[in-house]
Each structure stands twice: as structure tokens, then as C-alpha cells.
Structure 1
Amino acid sequence: MELTRKVLIVESESDLVLDYNYYYELMKEIYSAMKISNIKRTEKLHNEGYKIDNKIYKLFTSQLFIENATYQASGIVIKKGTKLRLMISGAKITVEDAISGFIKKGNLKLFKNYFKIIDMENDKKINLNEITLYKVRNPIVASIQDENKKIVYVSPYQQEVYFKILANNLKRKYKLIYNKEYEGELYFDVEDIFSIKKKLISNIKTKGILIGYSGFELYIQASKEMQRVAYYCGVGSNNSLGMGLMTYIMSRRD
């Protein structure tokens, strides 16, 4: 399976205040754009996804980069004409369906706010080696079930359990993408624990509130193939909501 990352440049059509918890609205818009490109493929992805070990993955993630805005208690204050960058990353066929759909419909709608599509950029060229440092842009969501099958969220401060959850998640994605088990090394390390920020993600249909952690830098030591899985498809769960998207900082050989 081919992986890719693309960026759309969008521009606010009015002054607005954007809710901090726009993730579900953005995911809906991405699916809407995909349907314009290929409705059957999109419905199959949305309804079935990629199944492995009783888990379902969508193998894409996203991030809305917002600059030149004011952050207030009421939300993100964005002026008319402000340019934002919408990054979509993951399985190439899914990313290209979304990008093509957005270009055809000409805009991105978040709640009642419209952003017109004005340009597209390819991802910058990066060199992923066995040891890579990433910036966690959107919260990483990691959870387990307790004895009563209740979801318990795990933080980066619980490193042994947290890293095990991330590893198992990436190994399943790896098998889906490469059609083989991952047998290489896979280690994690948080660069600066004091930069970790807890995030409550709400406005999510049927899911209530998710808990994730972002703002920190994450080292991953793994094969180049596995680094591609982490970079393009995201780390942790709920990736189609944008959770777990990371950007590249630096990489070196083991």
C-alpha cells in the first residue's frame, strides 16, 4: 500500500470564531470530499475500514495548521482572508480522493464557517531513518479496557503501558500496509516530559469525550518501513479524527 501526505491551502471567507473541538467536523468534511471523488470506495472505508485482530483502522489522519489567529476562551478567532493549511496523510488512494474532492467542491466547511480552496502543496521531502524525532501535533489517544470493559485512557507518564499500546497499534497498521508481521525493534522515548499537554476532545458523535496528549517530541526507533507507518498514518487510536498526527523534526541511522 502506498502512503502519502498532501497539504491544501485554504482561506477564511469571513471573520469567525472556530470551536477548539473542530476535529469531528473536519473528519466529516474529509469524508464528504472523498465521496465526491469515489462514493463506493468512501462508503466502504467509512463503514468497514481495514480490519485486523478485531480492530478497525481507516489509515488516514489530518491536521489543520492555524497561524495568525487569536486564541480566546470562546474559541480560535480567525480574520477574513486568513490562510490555513489542511494536511491530509495516510493511504495514497484515500488522501488523493480527499484532495480531489475538496478541489472539485472548492471549499472546506467547519460548522457554519467556510474556507475556500486556493492552492495545494506536496509534503516536504524527508529522510526517515531508524531513529527519528517527531513533533506530536494532534493529541495521541491511547487506551485500554479494564476488567469491566470500561475504556481507561493512558498518559505518557505511564510509559511502560503507554509505549506498549503505541507499539501494538503500529504493528497492526504495519501488517495492514505491508501484509506481513513486523519483526524489528520498536522503541519510544519522550524528549521532554514537561512539555506534555493533556487535551479533552469533545463534540464527537457517539464517543463522548476522548483524552489525548500532545505538545511533546517523540523519539521512535524502528525500521524505515515502520517509521513510514507512524509518520503517514499517525500514532495511537482515532487517527481519522486527526489524532496522533506528527511532523518530522530530524532522523539519523542507528
Structure 2
Amino acid sequence: MRLKIELHARDTKKFPFNYHYQFSSAIYLLLKFSSPEFSDFLHNIGYKLNGKPYKLFSFAVKFENYKTTSNEILLESPRIHLIITSPKIDEFIKNFVIGSFERTFCYLSFGGDEHKLLIKNMELLPEPEIKDEMRFTLSNPMVLSTLKEYKGKLSPYYLRPEDKVDINRILAGNLRSKYELVTQIHSKGNVELDWDEDYLRKHPRVTKKITINEHGRFPVDVIGIQAPFKIKGDPELIRIGYECGFGEKNSMGFGMAEVVYS
């Protein structure tokens, strides 16, 4: 299920490019106003499978009218749209809606400065029909990683578009795990992803490095891929990707995708 929330920035016209951590924190805070226990569980523990936690939600931020500089987003309109997705309707969606109505605003903190965003409107978005072959665009980069040896120790390696075999193996396993957590049913389904080759030819660089918690004590750099893609296979796994986000670090907004209607 997806919600579209209209926000108004009251006291700032500038946003850094690395805003994912701050909006994720604002979402957890709104959940906390409805259910502190659920917010703490989701933030600190998450839904676990084989010892690995999943948050089972993602989001995208869309600025209505803006310009960019080398390191900032400059708003020309105060209106911002926050789209949130999760299959956990009773736990996540309802708590977020209640928290939003309770608070009517959210706070973002950038570089020690706190900014207030008013919650002006909220609407439920219609669900698309999910088939065994779909086309998507990414609102935020898709992050997929594996461990590789580097200088004698295993380190995360973030996959690039040319890592097709690893992309499909890791993405399918990630979607099967999310499906099992949501439905309590083990899936043997599979999916196969193909990036839009025309887009790749026109855009030689589709990887993006994003810093999470840029101004905090422990900033983390991740690399994701942002390009349109086609995915075919088990429609239930494709639906889970649409509802939770494709790939990793979905609670930071990564892997949020929109259906391309041809």
C-alpha cells in the first residue's frame, strides 16, 4: 500500500542531496507518536529472517519545483511530496497515518539545524496490476551488494549494471526473504532483471554514491544504480519489490520504484 503525503517547508529553501537519513528519521518519529513500541521495534530490531533484519518499507521524496547547485537542492516551491510504501498495513501504514494526524508536522535536521515541515494532505494511491513482466523506473537508486575480498579482508562490494548474474541472484533472494516475512510462506519463485539498454547507452554513468547520516558520527557511503528496468518472473515477488522496495536499505528510500505504463 502506498501513501502520498503533501508537505510544506516553512523555514528552509535548501536541502542537501544526501537527505535520505533525515527523512527516514522523520518517518520513525511520526510512527513513534502513534506507537512508540512499534517504532522502536522497527528501528532497532526489524523483521528478521535467518538473523538478517528487514524494515519492509521504503519512500521517495519529490520536490515540486526546484533547482540544483553543486551540492544543494534549492526549492522554488515549498511543496514537497513524500510517497511511502509498505505491505504492513496494520502495523506500519495505520501507525504512520495516526502519527501524522497526531503531530500534523515533521522535523528534519541538517547539519545541526532543525526544519519544520507541515503535513498538509494525505492520500492513498491506487494499486497497480502486477503481472509476470513489468517495467519500472527508480525514484531512488537500487542498492545491491555482496562481500568480496579487498586487501586481505571481506568488504561490501556494491553491484554495478554489468554484474548481471550477481544482481539477479541477490535480488531474487532478497525478494524471497521479504515475501516470506510478509506472508509466512516460503517461496521458490524467481525473477530476472534487465536494465534499459537504450537508457544505459545514453547515460554512461548510472551509479550514484549516497552518504547516509552525512553529518553524524558514523557516515556510511553506499553505491546504487538508478536506471529504468524490466523485471520478469514470479508476480508475487515483483509485487513485494513494488511494496517494500527493490534491493537493500529500503528504509533509507533506496529501491523505491514506479510502474512504467506503456
Which amino acid in 2 is paired with 1:198? T
Instruction: Using the TM superposition, give the Cα deviation of residue 8 of structure 1 relative to its aligned residue in structure 2, in angstroms.
Output: 0.5
2:103 corresponds to: 105
2:120 corresponds to: 118
Instruction: Using the TM superposition, give the Cα deviation of residue 114 of structure 1 relative to its aligned residue in structure 2, in angstroms.
Output: 2.1
C-alpha distance in structure 2 between counterparts of 1:12 and 1:46, whole Å:
25
Is 2:186 aligned against 1:181?
A: yes
User: Sequence identity, in percent?
Assistant: 25
Is 2:21 aligned against 1:24?
A: yes
1:223 corresponds to: 234
Question: What RMSD, in angstroms, separates the aligned Cα atoms of the two structures?
Answer: 1.7
Out of 152, 155, 174, the residue aligned to residue 157 of structure 2 is: 152
Q: How many residues end up aligned between the 2 structures?
A: 246
C-alpha distance in structure 2 between counterparts of 1:144 and 1:185, whole Å:
19
1:239 corresponds to: 250
Residues 231-240 or 108-117, more deviating: 108-117
C-alpha distance in structure 2 between counterparts of 1:166 and 1:224, whole Å:
14
Q: 1:185 to 1:74 in 2, by over 3 A?
A: closer
Instruction: Using the TM superposition, give the Cα deviation of residue 95 of structure 1 relative to its aligned residue in structure 2, in angstroms.
Output: 2.5
* Preserved CA contact (<8 Å) 2:130 2:235: yes
* Preserved CA contact (<8 Å) 2:176 2:188: no
1:132 corresponds to: 134
1:209 corresponds to: 221
Instruction: Using the TM superposition, give the Cα deviation of residue 41 of structure 1 relative to its aligned residue in structure 2, in angstroms.
Output: 1.4
1:199 corresponds to: 208
Which amino acid in 1 is paired with 2:223? I
TM-score (norm 2): 0.88
1:86 corresponds to: 82
C-alpha distance in structure 1 between counterparts of 2:70 and 2:105, whole Å:
27
Is 2:67 aligned against 1:70?
A: yes
Instruction: Using the TM superposition, give the Cα deviation of residue 243 of structure 1 relative to its aligned residue in structure 2, in angstroms.
Output: 0.7
Which amino acid in 1 is paired with 2:221? I
Is 2:181 aligned against 1:161?
A: no
* Preserved CA contact (<8 Å) 2:58 2:252: yes
1:176-235 Cα shifts (integer Å, max 9, x gaps): 112122223411111232346221111425352111111x11111123321210101011
1:60-82 Cα shifts (integer Å, max 9, x gaps): 11111112111111301014x52
1:55 corresponds to: 52
Residues 113-122 or 103-112, more deviating: 103-112
Residues 119-128 or 193-202, more deviating: 193-202
Q: 1:145 to 1:101 in 2, by over 3 A?
A: same
2:39 corresponds to: 42
Which amino acid in 2 is paired with 1:177? V
Q: 1:199 to 1:51 in 2, by over 3 A?
A: same
1:96 corresponds to: 94
2:175 corresponds to: 170
Structure 1: stretches of 5+ with no match in the other structure: none
Q: 1:207 to 1:15 in 2, by over 3 A?
A: closer
Residues 57-66 or 117-126, more deviating: 117-126
